[in-house]
Amino acid sequence: MEKVGSRRRKTWIPDKEGRYARQLGWKRNEQGKLVQHKFYLGVDERQAERRNHKLEELWDRVEELWGQIIHLPGNDQPIWENLTLNIGKRLAKGECEFTVPYAYEDPADYARKIHTLNKWYPMIRFVPEDHGRYESGAEFTKGLVDNEIASILSVAELFGNLPNKPVVPAGDGTLHQALDDYIEWLKVDQREPGTDRIKTWGWTQIREVERLKEKHQDMSLSSLDLEAIESMIRVWRSRPNVKGKPLQAGPIRRQRQVQVSLAFWRDEARAAYDPCAPTVEERKEGIRALRAVGIPVILRIDPLFPRSPLPIQASSLRDFGLTEAQTLNDLEHLVAFARDVGVRHVVYSTAKIVQPRGRPVMTVAAKRAVRALCAPGKPVWRDFSWRLPPEIAERHIIQPFREICRRAGIAGKFCMRDLVEIP
């Protein structure tokens, strides 16, 4: 079967209603048969050509991501799934935005989902339905990134200072001129389709850029070296007042700390689930070295896996062909190690199953085990991964781990919630 229809045509004849149409890509119909989807591109030929070009970009992206990020079980070739088909229908209508609904998820997950979709499918702009939760999640995620950058700088300083090289090539122009140019671009990019009106989200972005101009002195772009950029970052870490509004929280102090992942106590488990990672002993030695020079450490016992005995008829993970990842004894050793080396706290989350990345056999086995744990219910599909329902994860995985932390006298914090701690 040919993967797609012809990409180029000498003539393009509209249908009886004057509409230009295009069959592109494959989908499953109600009977499960592979068929091509017909997109209707409007009655204006030049407009239809532009829309067709966008559709071709989208289908090329579906083919590129297929098998790496996107895969639907039972399909050995790229097909339209619900999301990409809906994107295609929007493009066929000439729409340039896709509003992402808020599904009562963690705001940080919501923000990351929107950023990821914009990265995967740049031919259309994904915007949040709930701007408040999106901005909250984006701010929280930025805090995590800042924290990771600070951690990297801390480690780098152990081995010598980072070179202070310009990050922008020398040339004409100033910071304020660049921000003004960006505002002018936003005024065009953020217009309502077919009008000169700027969208509400566009005005929000423009106000943020104008605030940057208010808070930072003008300077030549060639002088934007590492020191200048860190100085700008420090301004925002100190949480300057918004005009006429009181601060909602005290100033944020820059806190350098390192987060280290140590999810396994036995190398057998590490080799099965994270074969490219350093050995368990190497990670432990790294943590000890950081603590020896006084660097604060947060230990990520993350993710937490289902454990044997399972509360189902098949009582062991080995019944599903899986290596035992974390016994209760393993977790007790990990938490005791965290306590003994003096980490600040441990971070955890439950394991989720992502689309196959070169290890389809293990992924299939893991999905079978998760389905069995969920029976008679089903796993939750969210953010491109399968997850245990919250009540099952809490009862079987999280509660026993929190009890181990309580007995050891060390705080266990759920990932994406109390993760950034200001002492």
Overall average pLDDT of the 18-35 stretch? 89
Tokens representing residue 324 in the block = 């035992």
Residue with structure tokens 């605030």?
211
Looking at the DSSP assignment, which residues form a beta bridge with residue 28? Answer: 34
More confident residue, 216 or 332: 332
What is the rounded CA–CA span in Å between residue 394 and residue 396?
Answer: 6
Confidence of residue 313 (pLDDT cuts 50, 70, 90): low
- Is 195's pLDDT higher than 60? yes
- Is 159's pLDDT higher than 70? no
- What pLDDT does 314 receive? 55
Q: Which of 128, 137, 111, 140 is nearest to 383 (CA)?
A: 111
Put simply, whether the predicted model's pTM sits higher than 0.95 gets the answer no
Overall average pLDDT of the 94-121 stretch? 87
Residue with structure tokens 């990990």?
334
- Percentage of the chain beyond pLDDT 90 is 18
Confidence of residue 166 (pLDDT cuts 50, 70, 90): very low
Q: Find all residues with CB under 8 Å of 234, minimum gap 6, and list them.
A: 254
Overall average pLDDT of the 176-198 stretch? 83
The string of pLDDT tens digits covering residues 319-360 is 778 888 889 999 999 999 999 999 988 998 888 776 544 444
More confident residue, 3 or 208: 208
Report the interhelical angle of 45-65 vs 82-92 (nearest 10°): 160
More confident residue, 261 or 167: 261
Domain with CATH 3.80.30 in the chain: 258-414
Confidence of residue 222 (pLDDT cuts 50, 70, 90): low
- Is 136's pLDDT higher than 50? yes
Q: Average pLDDT, whole number, for the chain? A: 78
More confident residue, 294 or 10: 294
The SS3 of residue 413 is strand
Residue 329 belongs to what H/E stretch?
helix 328-341
Q: Give me the architecture of the 258-414 domain, per CATH.
A: Alpha-Beta Horseshoe (3.80)
Concatenated DSSP letters for 57-106? Answer: HHHHHHHHHBTTTB--TT-SS----HHHHHHHHHHHTT--EEEE---S--
- What pLDDT does 262 receive? 92
